[in-house]
Structure 1
Amino acid sequence: MWGIAALIVGLSAAVAALLAIPFRRWGNVAYVVVMATLFLLIRVGADQTIRPPLENWYAEKELAKDPLYKHIFDQYPELREPILTGVIHVANGGSMDSKEWSAMYHTIAPALQALIGKAPPEHIVRFMEVTVAAAKELQRQDPELCFKFLYPDPRGGIDSTRYLDPGTQKEMMKMLNEGAEAAVLHPHRFDGDLDELMEKHVAIDQFTQEELLAVATPNENTDAALACGASIRIFDQILKAPEPDRAELFRGLLTEG
C-alpha cells in the first residue's frame, strides 16, 4: 500500500520539520540531526499508531467495491477483521501461500461454500469436479480425512491445506472464489425435484442400505470409509449425467440435500 506509506512519510517529515524549528539557532548541522532524529521517532510511532487504521480503512474501502466481499461483510460482519488482516498481509508483501493468508481463507470458506449452491451451472460443476478430486486424494491418505472434508459437522472438519496437494488446494480456492462471486452477481435457485433427479441419474440399487444411511445421515459414529466411498461413487455418477440435470442435481444437494 504505497499510498499509505508515502502519506506517513510525508506527515512524519512535516511534523519533524515543525518540531525541529526551535533548534535552528544551534546551527544547520545540529538542526538537520535533530530533524532526522525526530523524523525517525515520529515515523516509528506513526507506523504503530497511524498506519494500522489507515490500512484497514483503505482495504475496507477497496473491498467494498467487490460484490462478493461486500456481500460477505453484510451477511457475516464477524468475518470483516479476518478478511482485512489477510488482505493487508498480502498487500504489504506477504505471500498468498503464507500461513496468514491460508488461515484467513480457511475462516471465510464456509461463507463462500454457502453461496455455491446459487452459482450458475458451469461454476457448480467445476467446483464439484475439483471437490471430488480432493475427496479422492484425501481418501487415498485416510478415509477419516475424506469424511471430515465432506461432512465437517459430525466430527469436525479438517484444514485441507495440510493434506491436499498444493495444486489441488489452489484450484479449489480458485473455483470456490469464482463460484461464490458468480452466485452473488448471477444467483440461481433450485426449482427441480431432487428425488426425481436422483432416481434418474444415480443407480441407488448399486449401494447397500448401510452406505445410503452413512451418506444420508452422517454422524459421529459413521464409518468414515463407508461414507467417503459411497459419496464419491454418487458424485461420480452425477458428474456423468447430461446437462442441465448434472448442475441441477448438485445444486439440489447443496441447497436442499
Structure 2
Amino acid sequence: MQDTILTFLPALLCVLFCLCAMCILTLLQQYKKISKRLAVLLALILIAVTSVYYFAVRLPQQQREARLEAARLHFATLPVYRTIKTQQPALYQTLLHEYLPAVASGESDTLAQANLRPMLSELLSQRISYASSEALNRYMQVSLEQMKVLRKENNELCFKFLFPQVSGGIDSSKTFPAALREREMMAIDYFLQHSHGAEQTGDADRYRADLQNIVRKLYGKWGSDLQIMNAPAEAGADKIKLCEMTIDLYQSVLALPANNSAGVLRIILDGNTR
C-alpha cells in the first residue's frame, strides 16, 4: 500500500499544484488584478507545462525506477545469484551493478545475464579445486552436451566456446536452447553450493595414470594432431579437429568412475595434482 502511494504521489502533487495555481488565478481575476483572458491564458500555460514535465520527465523516470526495482527483485530470486549473494555478497553486488544498467537500457533478461558470464566463469574456475566430485561431473556433463550442440550447429562456434581466450567466446543466449541453458544454470548453482568448503584431495597418482591412459587412446585415434590441443591459438589450427578431440577427451574422462573423473578434470581444468 505504501509503495502504491509513493508511486502516485508525484502525479497527485502535480494535480494539486495545478488546482492551487488555478484557484489563485481565479481569485486574481475576480478581484480584477488580472484580466479574464490573461487568467485563462496563464491557466492553459500552467497545465501545458505541468503535463510536459510529468509525461516527458517524471513518468519515464518512474517507469525506469519500477523496471530497476523489478529487475533487482528478480535477480535476487535466480538460483545461481541467490547462492552467490549468500556466499560472496561483494561479488553479488558487482554482478547486480552490471545487470541492472543492462536491463534499464532495454536489454532482455537473458542477454543481461549473458553479459555476466565472464565473471561467472572466473568464479567457477576459482572453485574447481574445491568442488565435490558430483558437482564437477554434473557441470562438465552439461558442458559436454553444449559442445555437441555446437558441433552440430557450427564448428566455428564450438571452437569459440572451447577457447574464448583465443576467439572471444559465444553468446549463449542466442546459441543454446532455453532448456539447455536452464540445465546449465542448475548445474552451476549445484556446483557453487558444493564448492565452498575445503580443497578436494584424492589419489593423485591414480588420476594422473587415468589421464595418461586416456591420452594414449586418443593418440591412437588422432595421432600427432592431438598436440594442437596444447596450442589452439596457433595459425592454421584445425578448428573442426580441435572440437572433435576435445569432445572425445571429456567423454573419455566422464566415462571413468565419479571420483576418478573428477580428479582427472581437476588436473585438466585447474592443474590440481593433489
TM over 0.5: yes
Match of 1:113 in 2: 121
Deviation at 1:20, TM superposition (A): 2.5
User: Is 1:224 aligned to residue 239 of structure 2?
Assistant: yes
Q: CA RMSD in A?
A: 4.0
User: What CA distance in whole angstroms lies between the structure 1 residues aligned with 2:254 and 2:63?
Assistant: 49
2:158 counterpart (124, 136, 146): 146
Report the residue type matching 1:164 in the other structure: F
Match of 1:200 in 2: 210
Cα 1:71–1:234 shift into 2, 3 Å: same
Alignment of 1:37-52 (within 5 A): 38=50, 41-42=53-54, 44-49=56-61, 52=64
Match of 2:193 in 1: 182
| 8 Å Cα contact 2:160-2:169 kept in structure 1 | yes
User: What CA distance in whole angstroms lies between the structure 1 residues aligned with 2:204 and 2:226?
Assistant: 16
Report the residue type matching 2:101 in the other structure: T
User: What CA distance in whole angstroms lies between the structure 2 residues aligned with 1:137 and 1:199?
Assistant: 30
Deviation at 1:164, TM superposition (A): 2.7
Greater shift, 209-218 or 45-54, is seen at 45-54
Q: What are the Cα deviations for residues 193-234 of structure 1, in whole angstroms up to 9, with x where unaligned?
A: 767514225522112353432223321432112221111111
Question: What runs of 5+ residues in structure 2 fail to find an aligned partner?
Answer: 28-39
Q: What are the Cα deviations for residues 126-182 of structure 1, in whole angstroms up to 9, with x where unaligned?
A: 211111011011112332221211111122212233333332233223423x14642
SS in 1 for 2:115: helix
Q: What are the Cα deviations for residues 42-88 of structure 1, in whole angstroms up to 9, with x where unaligned?
A: 36522334554676578668849945157777349765443113566
SS in 1 for 2:12: helix
1:132 counterpart (129, 144, 151): 144
Greater shift, 4-13 or 53-62, is seen at 53-62
Match of 1:17 in 2: 16
Cα 1:163–1:42 shift into 2, 3 Å: closer
Report the residue type matching 2:199 in the other structure: R
| 8 Å Cα contact 1:149-1:157 kept in structure 2 | yes
User: What CA distance in whole angstroms lies between the structure 1 residues aligned with 2:3 and 2:54?
Assistant: 15
User: What CA distance in whole angstroms lies between the structure 2 residues aligned with 1:169 and 1:13?
Assistant: 45
Match of 1:256 in 2: 271
| 8 Å Cα contact 1:192-1:252 kept in structure 2 | no
User: Is 1:173 aligned to residue 185 of structure 2?
Assistant: yes
2:100 counterpart (73, 84, 88): 84
Report the residue type matching 1:247 in the other structure: A
SS in 2 for 1:249: helix
Q: Taking structure 2 as the reference length, what is the TM-score of the superposition? A: 0.68
User: What CA distance in whole angstroms lies between the structure 2 residues aligned with 1:138 and 1:188?
Assistant: 35
Deviation at 1:35, TM superposition (A): 8.2
Q: Taking structure 1 as the reference length, what is the TM-score of the superposition? A: 0.71
User: What CA distance in whole angstroms lies between the structure 2 residues aligned with 1:187 and 1:43?
Assistant: 53
| 8 Å Cα contact 1:13-1:39 kept in structure 2 | no
| 8 Å Cα contact 2:136-2:191 kept in structure 1 | no
Alignment of 1:2-81 (within 5 A): 7-24=6-23, 26=26, 38=50, 41-42=53-54, 44-49=56-61, 52=64, 56=68, 63=76, 66-69=82-85, 74-75=90-91, 79-81=95-97
Which protein has the larger Cα radius of gyration, Structure 1 or Structure 2?
2
Deviation at 1:17, TM superposition (A): 1.5
